[in-house]
A and B are shown apart, each in its own frame.
Chain A
Amino acid sequence: MYGLIHNALRSMVVQEHGEPLWQLILESMEIEADVFLSMRQYDDSTTLSLIAASAQATNMEVDAFLGSFGYYWLTVFAPKDYGPLLNLTGDDPFEFLRNLNSLHERISTSFLEFRPPVFSVKYISDECIELQYNSTRKGLTSFVEGILRGLPIMFNVTMVVELMERSAVQQGEQSLFRIMKVGAQRGRS
């Protein structure tokens, strides 16, 4: 995965637990340099090990940690540098999710090795959709769940996110979420 993810992880751990803990995590992985180049592709195993080590260091289960990381990614890290592009992606959570594939396609023009997940949106009603997440990577459903839980903050709405299914497929992972808007919607925050 790209160094951008590592930098986001670093940012979250440092912000929530302090620099010394991050240094301990790097030491535990015997990583000497504390600089990840955002556009450099790192081996997936490095990223996943960093996540596992961070979860352990913060006394969290890996899935719970990934959930927090997804939430942080959408609500704090991505808006900092890519805010205008996120804003273009939609005016409400459902539109955002509908356009997520388009956003990823655009990103692919800069991140040449980008292997984005694919999302399918199925409208159950105006207030309810089912979102299918398909990825060639295993184990990142909780990260997506964290992102979905961050959407209400981004759009200043109330939503219920429910993970309906999660299954490993031949190469990667596939999950199904049900997302329901609740109450009067207030628009982007």
Chain B
Amino acid sequence: MTANNVAHLLDGLFATCFTIDANLQVSNPTSTLKSYCPGIEPGKSLLDLFEVQRPVLVHGKMILKEHLNSLFLLVAQDHSIALRGQVVQLEGDKGYRFVGAPWLAWMSEYRPQVALKINDFPIFDSQLDQRFHVATQELMVKDLQKLTGELMQARDAADDANRMQTDLFAVMSHEMRTPLHGVISALSLVGNSDNEGEREQLVDVAQKSALGLLNVINYALDYSKIEAGRMKLDSVEFGIMELTRSVADINIGKAQEKGIELIMNVSADVPRYLNGDQDKLRQMLVNLTSNALKFTDSGRVVVSVGIDEFMNLELNAGQALIRFSVSDTGCGIPDKDLQNIFEPFWSKNGAANTDVGTGLGLKISKQLGKLMNADIMVTSQLGVGSAFSFTVALEIISRPSVKTLQFDSKALPNTLSGRVMIVDDNKTNLMLTEMILKKFGLEVKAVSSGQEAIDLASSIPFELILMDITMPGMDGIEAARQINQQMLTPPIVALTAHVQPEMIDDYLANGFKGYLRKPIEQLELIRELNLWLPAGKNTKPLSIEPSKLPVINHKTLERLNVQIGEINFVRVRRLYLDETKRRLSNLLAAWVRRDHDSLALEAHTLASSVSSFGCDDLAWRMNKIDKAIRAMDMSDVISYMKDIEKHAKESLNEVEAYVFKSSAS
């Protein structure tokens, strides 16, 4: 290959080339090079044209043959271009040829305005690749910085949560220890006291301390629910007077104890019945009122409810803006503390709360308000008092439906008869429940595991089983399932702290007939026991009017048969039986869930539908249930709900039997 051919080949591979002879004179620059560096003219000296940065020249002299393996970095003296390449020797003493490309790093730094082309760089020249790689690496660094930032944020949030949890734990421990100490001390003194009056006083102290303890636990649970975002808004119809009365009932004891006047003031223009989250409103008002009472030593605490005429909120049709406020004549809050009072565990002294509560009440109220789009506002003047207020948009209800039934336990028998099994792995709960049940005159068997319950249920008949759900080994649901597989199964009622709607549905689906929330409330227990057990000896049984109607009215069925024909009758009968069973199941589920609205609705619907199929006795009972709910008479509801399943079964069996006889004839 001739030197020219070699030069041609090199020029095909490299965009910037020129020849250098032994005297360092330059010739044959490529057109690309000339376009960037017009001053490169044949005959000019390399050193006149370029500053040679690499290789490093010794005494300013360049001996090319010594640098055949060197990297050449040349910067044009006029700074028009910088080149990066090497020198190769041409065959036959034809000199040397510089081959290379623009020096990208230098050009980017000093001549960024020169529009270099991608094709100025040979494919195997890694300058562009490096440039791209560096840019990408920079992006990666940015990504990692962002990721690190997010991780640090997450870590800080976790640290905060941990700190909060630790604070909560510390405060809760203290708050629980105080009433617990009251319970333990009072009860230990009861045993040593012979004085009846003193014993009563001690029991009273123990009871109040236990209620205080329950209160602290409820606060802690609410707080954790809010923190976990599990608190959901409910919507129920309620009476505003009942709401304020219940707030007063809860706080009146404390007010009287401190000699403070507690005034409830509901404006005449506030609608009497509203729809909203009654429980959360009550909780907010109770918290604010109890907080006001804590910091007031004399004077009054006023809870006011009125129409908010000033707040500019867009309302849906049928809504009203109700303003709730709690004001007191207490010590007041310094301005500097106003922004802190809604922080958890904050106290007047700036330290963790020690003597006036969990330090969570205001925080919980604030969060509950947020759920209802209500911001709690506070104004205060030192030595004069404070006022907390919030405004909520609530739906106005013209006619209330039934949610809360009046419960007069005196209307129910005070003793009952029958044998009851209690299943609970907690020995204390077991003993206490046993004592309560025995007071009703019941025969009680107590066992502490699911397996023992199954064994006992198969050897002795029971009228009722109260079953704990969470037990080691076999849980209550599995034990109930196995007991239900036996013949003559007694009703099983769940004893549980988990009473969320989905849990209750689960209990029902697994054969439970009801539930009792732990810790067991006396009235709830009475309700459940009366539902399943007969009255005790020498006790007036539940006084309900006996039904004088036949289980089934044959004339109604015969008339129906004639009206629609036998074939249609058989088809309609199946539909009727299926629909009635479905509605009965809804009725029983509503009863278990204490959903009295649905209970009334199902009873009302069933009264009408079963009557059209001649089930006069069942229709009469459903009417009674409906009326008892409307009259808010819990004892009557219990009386009629008792055995409703048995009566319903009897009626439906007769309908089925009637059809059979009619077809046979």
Chain A residues close to B by CB (< 8 Å): 3-4, 7, 33-39, 81-82, 84-85, 87-91, 95, 99, 102-103, 105-107, 109-111, 188
Contact = CB atoms under 8 A, between A and B. Distances in A.
B108 A84 contact: yes
B143 A38 contact: yes
B143 A36 contact: yes
Contacts of B133: 109-110
Contacts of B351: none
A73 B144 CA distance: 22
A73 to B, nearest CB: 14
A99 B119 contact: yes
B115 interface: yes
B119 A85 contact: no
Nearest to A33: B150
B138 interface: yes
Interface of B: 108, 112, 115-119, 123, 126, 128-129, 131-133, 135-136, 138-140, 142-144, 146-147, 150
A38 B147 contact: no
A99 B146 CA distance: 34
Given A84-B131, A85-B135, A35 B118 contact: no
Given A82-B132, A88-B128, A38 B140 contact: yes
A102 B139 contact: no
Nearest to A34: B150
Contacts of A105: 123
Given A87-B115, A88-B118, A103-B118, A37 B128 contact: no
Shortest beta-carbon contacts, A-B, top 3: A109-B129, A38-B139, A35-B147
A110 B119 contact: no
B140 to A, nearest CB: 5
Contacts, number: 73
Contacts of A36: 143
B117 A88 contact: yes
A35 B146 contact: yes
Contacts of B136: 4, 38-39, 81, 110-111
A122 to B, nearest CB: 19
Given A81-B135, A84-B108, 16 more contacts: A35-B146, A38-B140, A39-B139, A81-B136, A81-B138, A88-B116, A88-B118, A90-B117, A105-B123, A106-B118, A106-B129, A106-B132, A107-B132, A109-B126, A109-B132, A110-B133
Contacts of B150: 33-35
B132 A102 contact: no
A37 B143 contact: yes
A36 B139 CA distance: 11
A129 to B, nearest CB: 18
Nearest to B116: A88
Given A106-B132, A107-B132, A109-B129, A4 B139 contact: yes
Contact of B118 (A33, A34, A38, A89): A89
Contacts of B143: 3, 7, 35-38
A4 B150 CA distance: 18
Nearest to A83: B135
Contacts of A81: 135-136, 138-139
Contacts of B108: 84
A4 B139 CA distance: 9
B125 to A, nearest CB: 10
B103 to A, nearest CB: 14
Contacts of B128: 85, 88, 106
B140 A82 contact: no
A33 to B, nearest CB: 7
6 contacts: A35-B146, A38-B143, A82-B135, A85-B128, A88-B128, A109-B126
A38 B132 CA distance: 13
Contacts of A110: 129, 132-133, 136
Contacts of B123: 105
A88 B136 CA distance: 17
B188 to A, nearest CB: 53
A136 B131 CA distance: 27
A36 B112 CA distance: 31
A37 to B, nearest CB: 5
A110 B118 CA distance: 17
A131 to B, nearest CB: 17
Nearest to A2: B136
B639 to A, nearest CB: 52
B101 to A, nearest CB: 11
B129 A85 contact: no
A66 B614 CA distance: 68
B134 to A, nearest CB: 9
Contacts of A37: 140, 143-144, 147
A84 B115 CA distance: 9
Contacts of A95: 117
Contact of B119 (A3, A34, A39, A102): A102
Contacts of B147: 33, 35, 37
A82 B129 CA distance: 12
Nearest to A38: B139
Contacts of B144: 37
A81 B139 CA distance: 8
Contacts of A39: 136, 139-140
